Amino acid sequence: MEFAGSFTQVDGIPTLFEKSSTDGATSPDWKSFFSLKAALARTFNAQEVVEVILHQGLEILNAQAGLVARFMVESEEVEIIGSLGYAKELVKDWKHLSLQTRIPLTEAILSGQSVWLENLETSSTAENYPLMISSQTINPTAAVAWVPFIIDRKKIGGLALSFSTPQTFTLQLKEFILTLSQQCAIALDRAFYQEERERLAGIEERNLLASDLHDGLAQTINLFGLKIQMLRQLYGSGNLEALGIELEQLNKIAQAARQDVREVLYGLRLHEENLSLPEVLADRVHHCAEQCNCNIRLVVKDTGSWPNLNIMVQTQLLRIVQEALSNLQKYAQASEAQVEVEFLEDASQINLKIRDNGVGFDLKAVRSRAKTEVHLGLNIMAERAARLGAELRIETEPGKGTAIFLDLPL
């Protein structure tokens, strides 16, 4: 692993601290700090943040071991979510700690104040933590620093650092460690927030799926009931010709219901495989083309590396495209269609375009119906676009095909 900055040799260990020419005190290399800050900015989840902290952070600070803990508000516990250099048995035993456990980490998080022990052999403060002294984590442990992660008075967690030689925590060095810890806290808080958003988005999406299934199946079951009553009447009157027509319609309704359920399960499978948006769309377009007599083409454009979309965004985009393609199959009578997805890196925006050469429709009339028909496809797409903060536009006229545009700022 490479870092910007000068390396000096201390007891045979490379370190990223430079000697000051004036007083001989050690001073941190801020170039390496900005390298770590940039690495944290590229993280997408808590585990990636922890890995950057432990690997780059420990090397910058020349620490022998370290761990990152998360404060669990509900249970008032501290959970170790990553460690490097400590005995596995100790990390396992200390996986979950009550704030009442008397160790420097819990006290640092509880009080919001860092704990600095420069030399465990000579420090009288170390005697206040017998549990820590009895559980030697690295051999030998000479100095420790425990720093809380706090943002706007909100407890996020904390960082523990262990050193194999005594340390002099100068004011400058403390400020450096605190500044580094603040960047780690910001990155962790962002990752926790994103994970919570995705968890809630997953719950919302499951509720939406349940609603879609319930509404679709409820309508189908009601229709089945009406058709069966009609079949009984036709059978009783001996109208076999009309009976045959109604049976054929009933068969088509059953096929449509099976297809709707299949579509939902298909979308769930793609979601679980964690595919990128272009991959999902390619699979979706190919699947739809097999189901209808229409030549559907996918065009992917980008002006940079394709962004890593979170679950909520990608799921909603897929559902919008699915709804548009479903309408294409059912109503458009198109021979050709094109799905175009574009990523504009400079504008940080994704654009979707879905066009067909089908029969089109009266947009004003459909929007009028949409006011009373809650589950109309137009409403479903508009609701999903609104959740994303995206702009949805539809252009169509009878006999002139349909074009759907969606602009999503990231």
Note the pLDDT tens digit of each residue in 243-253: 888 888 888 77
Q: What tens digit of pLDDT does each residue of 115-149 get?
A: 998 988 887 766 777 666 565 554 567 888 999 99
In degrees rounded to 5, what are phi and psi of residue 114?
Answer: -70, 155
Class of domain 8-194: alpha beta
All structural domains of the chain with their residue ranges:
8-194, 276-410
Q: What tens digit of pLDDT does each residue of 183-200 get?
A: 889 999 988 888 888 777
Q: Extract the tokens encoding 213.
A: 């299934």
Number of other CB atoms surrounding residue 392 within 10 Å:
19
pLDDT at 9 over 70: no
Instruction: Answer yes or no: are the C-beta atoms of 51 and 59 closer than 8 Å.
Output: no
Instruction: Answer yes or no: are the C-beta atoms of 309 and 277 closer than 8 Å.
Output: yes
Q: CA–CA distance from 377 to each of 15, 32, 370 (Å)?
A: 61, 53, 9
Q: What is the distance between the terminal CA atoms of the chain, rounded to a whole angstrom?
A: 31
Q: Taking the C-alpha atoms of 167, 172, 174 and 177 in order, what is their torsion angle to the nearest 10 degrees? A: -100
User: How much is the pTM?
Assistant: 0.52
CATH of region 276-410, choose from 3.30.930.10, 3.10.20.600, 3.40.1410.10, 3.30.565.10: 3.30.565.10
